[in-house]
Amino acid sequence: MKQLPALHWQILIGMFIGAAVGLPLNILADQGHVSPEWPRQVAFYGKAIGDLFLRLLSMIIAPLIFTSLVTGVTASGSLEGLGRMGLRTIVFYISTSMAAIVTGLILVNLIRPGVGADMAVLQAGAEPVAPAVLEGDGGVGSTLWNQLLNLIPPNPFAALADPTNRSILAVIFFSLLFGIFVVRVGGEHGKRLTDAFNAAFEVMMSLTMFIIRLAPVGVMGFMLYAAAGRGLGVFASLAWYMLTVFCGLAIHACITLPMLAALIARRSPRQFARDMAPALMTAFSTASSNGTLPLTMTCIEQRAGISNRVSSFVLPLGATINMDGTALYEAVAVLFIAQAYGSELTLAQQVIVAFTALLASIGAAGIPHAGTVMMVVVLRAVGLPLDAVGLILAVDRVLDMCRTAVNVWSDATAAAVIERVCQKRVT
Ligand code: ASP
C-alpha cells in the first residue's frame, strides 16, 4: 500500500484546500457572481466538520490530563522537584507573556493603527457584543481571585466531566494531588495504582494518536469556515490594526521564543518548529489551545522527545494560563481602540494595560475568541467603552488563529526550556 505523506503535510494540504475553496467563493460572492448564500453554506458545513473534530479532541482532554499528570508525578517521585518545576514554569510563563505585551505595546505606539481610523466604517461593520461578553467581569482583582477559586474543584468528577474551559485548572490541581498521594501512600497500593495509571495513560495516548489522524479533515473544515465565512471588505478598514498584531506575533514567534529555545533549551528552533508543526497548524486552524492540547502533548513527547514528567505538567498548565499571543493581542487591541476614539493613553495607563492584559490572558480559556471576551477587563481598567469590542470582532477569527498558534508555540518552548533547566540540576 502506498504510504500517506507525513501528518504535518496532510494538515497543510487540508488547510490549503479549505482556503483554496473558501476564499475564491467569498470573492465571487463579493463581486456578485454567485449568491452570498453559497459561501455562507460552505462556511456552515466547514464549521460543522471542524466542530466534530474538536469535539473528539475535547472528549479526550480530561482523561488524558488526568492519566498523564498522575503518571508524570508518580514517575518523578520527588515532590520537591515537582515544586521547583512548578515555580520555574510559572516564572517562565509570566516572563514570556510580559515580553509579548511589551513587543505589542512598542509596535502599536510606533505604527499607531488607530489614529485616523474611520470610525464610521468601523461602527457600521461593528457586531453587537453578546451580553455575556459584557457581564461577569468584576475587574482585575476578581479575575485573579476567580482563577484561584477555579483551582479547587467543588467536585472533581464534575471538573473532569467539563474540560472545555477553566475547569482544566481544577483537573490539573486534583490530578497533581492525586499523584502526590499515590506516591505518599506508596507500598502495594501505591504500586498498583501507579501501574494502573501507566496502563491507562498508554491507552489514552493510543486513542489520541487515532483521533489525530483526523486532523487534516478537521483543519480543512475550519479553514473553509474562516475563508468563506467573512466578507473581505471589513479587512480593509482594519488593515493597519491587523498588521500591527501580525507583526507583534511574528516578532514574538520568530525571534523571542526561538531565542529562548536556542539559548536556554539548546535546541535548534527550526527542528523544534518542525517537530511541533502538526500542533501549531492545528492550533492555527481550530483557534483553540485547549482543543489542540492532545496534539501538543503527542508532538512534544513523540517528535521532540521531551519527557512525560515535564510535558504532562507544563503543557496543560500552559494551555490554560500561558497565552503570549493573546496577551500581545489584547494590549494592541486596547491601544488601537483608545487611538480610534482619540484618547491617547499615558505611559502610566499603558503600564496598567500591560498588567491587566497579562491577567486577562491568564484568565482566558483556551477556546476560540476567549481573549476578546477577556479584553473587557482591560478596557474597564483604563475606562474605555466596553462595547468597543464590537468594532474588532469582525476580524477576530483570523487574529485568533494566529495568536492561538503563538500560544501553543510558547507552551512548547516552555516545555523544552523547563526540561533542560530541570535536567541540569539532576546531572
Ligand atoms: N483562542 C485562544 C486560545 O485558544 C484564546 C484567545 O481567544 O486568545 O489559545
| Residue 127 alpha carbon to ligand 1 centre in Å | 19
pLDDT tens column, 283-312 = 999 999 988 999 999 999 999 999 998 998
Bigger pLDDT: 121 vs 420:
420
CATH classification of 7-426, choosing from 3.40.50.2020, 3.40.190.10, 1.10.3860.10, 2.40.50.140? Answer: 1.10.3860.10
State whether the beta carbon of 368 lies less than 6 angstroms from ligand 1: yes
Candidate of 222, 404, 406 to mutate for ligand 1, largest count of ligand atoms within 8 Å of Cβ: 404
Cα–Cα dist 374/397, whole Å = 15
pLDDT at 139: 55
Distances (CA, A) of 405 to 51, 101, 174, 398, 410: 18, 16, 28, 11, 9
Cα–Cα dist 424/166, whole Å = 33
State whether the beta carbon of 404 lies less than 6 angstroms from ligand 1: yes
| Residue 400 alpha carbon to ligand 1 centre in Å | 6
Q: In the structure grid, which three cell numbers stand for residue 221, read together?
A: 473544515
Neighbours of 132 (CB within 10 A): 8
Burial status of residue 255 (CB atoms within 10 A of its CB: 0-12, 13-18, 19 or more): exposed
| Residue 403 alpha carbon to ligand 1 centre in Å | 7
State whether the beta carbon of 366 lies less than 6 angstroms from ligand 1: yes
Average pLDDT on 65-93 reads 82
| Residue 320 alpha carbon to ligand 1 centre in Å | 10
**Cα torsion 414, 417, 422, 426: sign:** positive
CA trace torsion 381, 327, 307, 3 (10° rounding): 140
Asked if residue 62 lies in contact with residue 400, where contact means CB atoms within 8 angstroms, the answer is no
| Residue 319 alpha carbon to ligand 1 centre in Å | 9
Q: What is the mean pLDDT of the chain?
A: 84
- Of the ranges 229-238, 346-355, 364-373, the best mean pLDDT one: 346-355
Cα–Cα–Cα angle for 12, 365, 295, rounded to 5 degrees: 35
pLDDT tens column, 367-384 = 888 888 788 888 888 888
| Residue 318 alpha carbon to ligand 1 centre in Å | 12
pLDDT for residue 243 is more than 70: yes
- Of ligand 1's listed atoms, the one at least distance from the Cα of 291 is 4
Q: In the structure grid, which three cell numbers stand for residue 257, read together?
A: 521564543
pLDDT at 273: 96
pLDDT for residue 215 is more than 50: yes
What's the count of helices (H) and strands (E) in the chain, helices before strands?
A: 21, 0
State whether the beta carbon of 400 lies less than 6 angstroms from ligand 1: yes
pLDDT at 142: 62
Per-residue confidence band for 420, with pLDDT thresholds at 50, 70 and 90:
very high
pLDDT tens column, 322-336 = 999 999 999 999 999
Q: Amino acid identity, residue 218? A: G
Atom 8 in ligand 1: residue holding the nearest Cα: 371
Cα–Cα dist 406/412, whole Å = 10
- Of ligand 1's listed atoms, the one at least distance from the Cα of 368 is 1
Average pLDDT on 80-89 reads 84
State whether the beta carbon of 237 lies less than 6 angstroms from ligand 1: no
Cα–Cα dist 348/381, whole Å = 12
Cα–Cα dist 169/161, whole Å = 13
State whether the beta carbon of 403 lies less than 6 angstroms from ligand 1: yes
pLDDT at 1: 46
pLDDT tens column, 391-417 = 787 788 889 999 999 999 999 999 999
| Residue 371 alpha carbon to ligand 1 centre in Å | 6
Q: Which residues does 346 contact at the CB level (< 8 Å), separation at least 6?
A: none
pLDDT tens column, 188-204 = 999 999 999 989 988 98
- Of ligand 1's listed atoms, the one at least distance from the Cα of 367 is 4
The residues spanned by each domain of the chain are 7-426
pLDDT for residue 341 is more than 60: yes
pLDDT for residue 131 is more than 90: no
Per-residue confidence band for 354, with pLDDT thresholds at 50, 70 and 90:
very high
Distances (CA, A) of 166 to 45, 136, 170, 287, 318: 28, 14, 7, 16, 12
Average pLDDT on 80-87 reads 82
Neighbours of 181 (CB within 10 A): 14
Average pLDDT on 98-126 reads 81
Distances (CA, A) of 243 to 138, 142, 314, 328, 389: 31, 33, 31, 13, 18
State whether the beta carbon of 163 lies less than 6 angstroms from ligand 1: no
| Residue 367 alpha carbon to ligand 1 centre in Å | 5
pLDDT at 322: 92
Find the helix or strand (DSSP H, E) in which 314 lies.
helix 308-321
User: Which residue, chain included where needed, has cell 498558534?
Assistant: 405
Q: Which of 108, 172, 135 is nearest to 357 (CA)?
A: 108
- The number of C-alpha atoms within 13 Å of 35 and in the hemisphere containing its C-beta is 5
Neighbours of 146 (CB within 10 A): 15
Cα–Cα–Cα angle for 377, 381, 383, rounded to 5 degrees: 115
